[in-house]
Amino acid sequence: MKDVQGKVAFITGGASGMGLGMARAFTAAGMKVMIGDIEQAPMDRAVAELNEVGGDAAGIQTDVTKLESVQAAAAATIEKFGKVHVICNNAGIGVGGQSEKASMRNWEWVMDVNLWGVVHGLQAFVPLITEHGEGGHVVNTASMAGMYGLRGAGPYNATKFAVVGISETMMAEHSRDNLGVSVLCPGIVATNIGNSARNRAENYGGPVQPNEKDTSAEMLAKGLNPDVVGHLVLEAIQEDQPYIFTDPSLRYLIERRTKHILAGYDWADNCKALEGIEPAGL
């Protein structure tokens, strides 16, 4: 989508971090922005900031874990701006823990926000983007954790691998029409994600205040400025770039994973069980 001037974007989780970075970059490029976030006060501040610098922005409190909430946000976007061209499925939460040890409630919470949230955004917004025929773009926020199985984060990695899978499928399905699809795979970015449990609803165990002993805050603080990610996402939309990586020094993780996977083929080429069997192919 080369020409973004006057186009409308909806950003989930746009009150903070990378979502806010996207909202700022889109506004500066002349786009209209609707933010959907679960946190009302930071969202109100974000919208006020965007409008103060001459933007055309609005917000609607949205819980991406609930399809009806995202559908209501889509209807509000059409009511406010008439059309929508870009959906950024960006809201997400961070949860640590090994797959076999993480609590089931944390598993459900991270799946509901990071995976179902993306699905809800696609279901509610993509039909509205494709129906006007002007073209548009989907940006799904995954992570480097969707490209490589980082230790100690099984449930989180599961959601991000799923988001990469959904995005790659959509890239193939929309390769011949005017809907661009990108998957954002950030490395470490200095956002509020270390404090995600502030938003954990009662049905997942309730909110948790940040733990002072938690070292992730220090690590995150050294991360990339989320406003840089906002500009990167804008550039990727304009150039229809499918994979958006924020940290070129992490290329080795993809190379390492690909090498491990290909070693599986080397093994299959020589294993006894497949000897003499004609491959079916795809």
Ligand X SMILES: NC(=O)c1ccc[n+]([C@@H]2O[C@H](COP(=O)([O-])OP(=O)(O)OC[C@H]3O[C@@H](n4cnc5c(N)ncnc54)[C@H](O)[C@@H]3O)[C@@H](O)[C@H]2O)c1
Q: Containing H/E element for 123?
A: helix 117-131
Q: What is the DSSP string of 31-45?
A: -EEEEEES-HHHHHH
By CB under 6 A, tell whether 90 contacts ligand X. Answer: yes
Tell me the window of 75-83, 90-98, 230-238, 252-260 that interacts with ligand X (CB under 6 A). Answer: 90-98
From the list 44, 66, 26, the residue with the least C-alpha distance to 229 is 26
Within 139-168, which residues bind ligand X (CB under 6 A)? 141, 143
By CB under 6 A, tell whether 77 contacts ligand X. Answer: no
Which one among 23, 60, 84, 188 touches ligand X, defined by CB under 6 A? 188
Which one among 106, 167, 182, 191 touches ligand X, defined by CB under 6 A? 191
Rounded to 10 degrees, the C-alpha dihedral 39/193/21/151 comes to -150
Which one among 37, 50, 232, 253 touches ligand X, defined by CB under 6 A? 37
DSSP at 112:
I
**Cβ burial 236-265 (10 Å sphere, 16+ → b, else e):** bbeeeeebbbbeeebeebeeeeeeeeeeee
Binding mask 258-277 for ligand X (x = CB under 6 A): --------------------
Q: Active-site residue 156, yes or no?
A: yes
Q: Within 193-247, where are the H helices?
A: 216-221, 226-239
- 41/282 with CB nearer ligand X: 41
Catalytic residue among 156, 204, 243, 265: 156
Which one among 4, 17, 129, 157 touches ligand X, defined by CB under 6 A? 17
Residues forming the site for ligand X (CB under 6 A): 12-13, 15-19, 37-39, 62-65, 90-93, 113-114, 141, 143, 186, 188-189, 191-193, 196, 199, 220, 223, 226
